[in-house]
Structure 1
Amino acid sequence: MGLFNKTIAVTGGRKGEEMRALIQKQGGKALIRPAQGTVFTNEEHVVQSLREIIENPPDMLIYTTGMGEKRMAELAELAGLEKEYNHLLRSIPIAVRGTKTLRHFKQKGITPQTVADRGTMNQLENALTIENQSVVLQMHGENVPGFIESLEAANNTVTTIYPYEHTPPEQAVLKQLIEEIENGQLDAVAFTSAIQVRYFFEYVDRVKKRERILTSLTETILPVAVGEVTEEHLKAQGIEHVLTPTTPRMGAMVMEMAKYYRNLASS
């Protein structure tokens, strides 16, 4: 019961009830405050992109999520492009971000050439030593201009595909979360994806409360990230110390919080 008497705000909505149950099991109280909106797919755009890369194959395919590739495969099948798309995957070098994406491809019988096993874009960038090539980059719902600029600086041509995109969160929810932070109603804020960090701080900047929120998340409220990618985004916003489990899973994040507070109580 490491979270006894602790109130945790969770910024992910998709698995909010699952997170609530995990936190309650550890004796805590979960407040679900989604900092991202719904996910949708611009199917016409993705199918057109698939046709283009099948007709003019790139030198490399880069995938940032297994879920994104799965959606591309589904749309290829619906558009009658399944055979051509599968041939493309098996004839071109593939780079992937994260062990989940790697497992996804191995289940398809494909071994990627380049793997960033920590799952960060920085690691993927460092692992790629390509230049003068055409690259297709499957994005994970948000842009990564630094990564793309790095590829383009090496004279690579980059085409992006967004199999799924996110709508912004409800501003009323973000306003409520900020008020709870300011009023000291929370012990921790748990971010379950990098895009939540971006949307949250965009709103914080819009209402001109960055300094106050950063102070709270540094001095009185524990910032928690589900994995290294989300942790990197929090640190990029100016939060130096972030609690992050070694395994990027929701359950592992809750157990890491419980462990943190047990250690704190016994010190």
Structure 2
Amino acid sequence: MERQHVSLLAGARIGLLEARLSSELAELVRREGGEPVCAPAVREAPVDLAPALPALVDDLRQQRVRIVVFLTGAGASSLLDQARDAGAYDSLVDALRNATTVCRGPKPAAVLRKLGIPVHVNARSPYTTTELLEVLPDALVAAQGMALLHDGGGNPPLVEALRSRGARVQELRSYEWRLPDDVAPIESLIAELVDGRLGAVAFTNQVQVRHVFQVADGMGRTAAMRYALTHRTIVGSIGPTCSRALDEHGVPPHVEASPPKMRPLVSAIGDALAARRNHPTVDSTP
């Protein structure tokens, strides 16, 4: 007799704050029997790097910059796209092929390898600042010129740590994470959270945490939302960096994806919802 498929999410409504891969994450939720409630909480705004490209290429050629650190695949792609638009693509790619390249995980590494740019150093999972610093010891970075291509949020602790090891860090950013122009979907999600109409919320970026609390503060519903996230709604985090942001806002996540990818995150949320269904608790509204 064929075994009947058991839905992981069992019809639960899952709040999703992802922007770039919103449709992919929503489809994962649907496949597992859940209902996605999408409220993208981050907008990627491009930062014009064209004025900095000639100096960067010259610094690489003259070996004033010997190490280039890529934090995200989106940042690497944006940098190269801007170089192409500025007519500096070939010169930048050639210069990068002669530099020591460092990647924080597989996504920027894939972008570079596709172009024949060697990846000399890559951080291990879960690809946080801690793992990146492990592969950038004093012996490698001391007295070296380094270009650091940030993600959309910046990383002051990483810059401080590298400079304390003697690196001369040049910071670059090809996009910024900003609050969406239209926050109505986020406001609606917060209202559903407070009213107990969401089974779980998935956080896939630390900036989502800050933006959701920023919007809740504007609505005067921060305390009610924090209570709901702590006592009623399963909070899922994509990884350690996101979890720290949640902790800092007084909302320790109930589950954290391992490895830090969307499918394990959805699975972990499903397991937590199943456990709660099997062992229900009653929470009263403060």
TM-score, with structure 1 as normaliser: 0.86
Tell me which residue corresponds to 1:41: 46
Q: Which residue of 2 aligns with 1:184?
A: 196
Task: Point out which structure has higher relative CO (alpha carbons under 8 A, 6+ apart).
Answer: 1
Mapped pair 1:161 → 2:164: no
Contact between 2:199 and 2:273, CA under 8 Å: does it hold in 1? Answer: no
210, 235, 250: which one aligns with 2:262? 250
Report which stretch shifted further, 106-115 or 219-228.
106-115
Q: CA deviation at 1:263?
A: 4.3
**Kept after mapping to 1: 8 A contact 2:68/2:146:** yes
**1:121 matched to 2:102:** no
Q: Alignment partner of 2:37: what SS? A: strand
Paired residue secondary structure (1:27):
coil
| Uncovered stretches (5+) of structure 2, i.e. residues with no partner | 1-6, 280-286
Aligned-CA RMSD value:
2.4
Tell me what 2:29 maps to: 23
CA distance in 1, matches of 2:232, 2:207: 24
Shift of 1:49: 1.7
Alignment partner, residue 79 of structure 1: 86
| Alignment match, 1:52 | 55
CA offset at residue 211 of structure 1? 4.3
Letter of the 2:49 counterpart: V
Q: Which amino acid aligns with 1:40?
A: A
Displacement of 1:185 in angstroms is 1.5
Name the count of aligned residue pairs.
264
Structure 1 segments unaligned to the other structure (5+ residues): none
What is the TM-score when the length of structure 2 is the normalising length?
0.81
Q: Give the drift of 1:64.
A: 0.5
Task: Report the Cα distance in structure 2 between the residues aligned to 1:112 and 1:151, rounded to whole angstroms.
Answer: 19
Letter in structure 1 aligned against 2:96: L
Identity %: 23
Post-superposition Cα deviations, 1:38-68, rounded to whole Å, max 9, x if no partner, equal: x2323xx312222111122313111001222
Deviation at 1:206, TM superposition (A): 5.1
Q: Structure 1 residues 137 and 206, CA, compared in 2 at 3 Å: closer, same or farther?
A: farther
Listed as ranges, the matches of 1:127-138 within 5 Å are 127-129=135-137, 130-138=141-149
Q: Which amino acid aligns with 1:165?
A: E
1:64 partnered with 2:71: yes
Aligned partner of residue 124 in structure 1, secondary structure: helix
SS of structure 2 residue aligned to 1:223: strand
- Where in structure 1 do 4 or more consecutive aligned residues deviate above 6 Å? none
| Aligned position for 1:144 | 155
SS at match of 2:255: coil
| Structure with bigger gyration radius | 2
